Amino acid sequence: MDDEAPLIIKHSGAQTDAKNHTRDVHILSSSFLLIFLAYGAVQNLESTINTEENLGTISLGILYSSFMVFSFVASLVVRYLGSKNSLILGTTGYWLFIAANLKPTWYTMVPASLYLGFSASIIWVAEGTYLTSTARSHARDCNLPEGTVIGSFNGEFWGLFASYQFIGNLISLALLSEEKGGSTSGTTLLFAVFLCSMTLGTILMCFLHKRDGKREEGLPDSSASFYSSMVSLLKSTITPLFDLRMLLIIPLIAYSGLQQAFVWAEFTKYIVKPALGESGVCGAMAMYGAFDAICSLVVGRVTSGLKSITLVVSAGALIQFVVLLWLLLKYSVDSEVVGIVYPFLVAAAWGIGDGVLNTQLSALFGILFKHDTEGAFAQLKVWQSASIAAVFFLSPKISLLVMLVTMLAAVCISLAGFLLLTLQVEKAFSHAI
């Protein structure tokens, strides 16, 4: 009996650890949903509610410029603070941005946007670090294949996260649909509800267990460690730019940012609001979010390698190309029933294209850049943020026509670069055989 006791205790401890791992994934996924259902809905409304001197659009441009800059150093900050502390710190920027919208002026929105850029870069690096660490611990404690557990935990996180657009915009639609004329009571109530949602999400994160204890110890004692970390960080960021594969995929990365910014800035302002009104923006973006989430789940399951990625990306690019061409040549605001349906159809089709790009880019990076994943994903965030910022800054100065032509050219160039990349990879693989 005495010999069996340690085995029983060890088995019980492993079960407890396994429950803690899955519990942390549930908490992390729920926290991100609560935070981003609020932020995502407010971001969609920025170009339509803060229209004076294009405050909303320019604020988003500042935000994503800040996001781009801080993406270069985010991993270093997370390494010093630890992933859990960085997650909690990252939520503060989103809370401040929503609060600034209660009294939107240049003196509130610009500082809030700058700080959110920093917070966003921190929270996303911390999310990837924490989720991967949790999955590896779970695989080790339960004697499971590491890759299977990482895929399962990421599937739960992204499946729940992808629904934020749908839920957040339905809340916006419900609260703004009662707003009369120039009244702002509905908007104020909406922001108050979103602040409560974000506060709950931040509180939930406090219940996460700390991961990778050696990384949670804080700042290193030696300044030499700081400089060596900076050198390592710069190398991981710059080295991928000397890789032909990265150079060929950068246009597709940039386009993925352009098409996201297009739906947030141009689509809501020029297509949805004239046809459906301000509350209609929420309904159309809920449709966009629903199809984005469904598409992400479906194409994620059918992705098996470079060939499947090529087919899926080509199909997604073709869908968005057709939508852009139709908007350029045929679309006009119509008060009839058909005119009301059009924005929802465009939102659904655009959501499919966005779901394709989000899932397939991540899968492609995992396949092509196994030896420098951190540097590769740094490039993903830098180029996406840069293109998003460019759209928000240029949006007030250019017409919808110019934006549509630019988007058409961008999708063609990015798809051509991507197809050339697949040919290069397949050629290198055949030579290796």
287 vs 187, residue with greater confidence = 287
pLDDT at 406 over 60: yes
**pLDDT > 80? residue 363:** no
Q: Are 66 and 113 in contact (CB under 8 A)?
A: yes
Report pLDDT digits (tens) over 292-303.
888 877 776 676
Q: What share of the chain is helix, strand, coil (3-state, %, to 5)?
A: 85, 0, 15
Whole-number Å distance between alpha carbons of 310 and 376: 19
Query: Is 240 within 8 Å of 119 (Cβ atoms)?
Result: no
For the chain, give the percent of residues with pLDDT over 70. Answer: 77
Of residues 2 and 277, more confidently modeled: 277
More confident residue, 358 or 375: 358
Distances (CA, A) of 306 to 104, 377, 426: 46, 18, 9
Query: Residue 368 is which amino acid?
Result: L
**Structure confidence by residue, pLDDT tens digits, 211-260:** 754 444 444 444 555 566 666 666 666 777 777 888 899 999 999 999 98
Q: What is the pTM of this model?
A: 0.74
Give me the pLDDT at residue 413, please: 95
Which tokens hold the place of 165? 């657009």
Which residue reads 């935000």 in tokens?
A: 63
At residue 218, the pLDDT reads 43
Candidates 134, 153, 126, 152; CA nearest to 20 is 134
Residue 319 contacts by C-beta under 8 Å, 6 or more apart in sequence? 349, 352, 353, 356
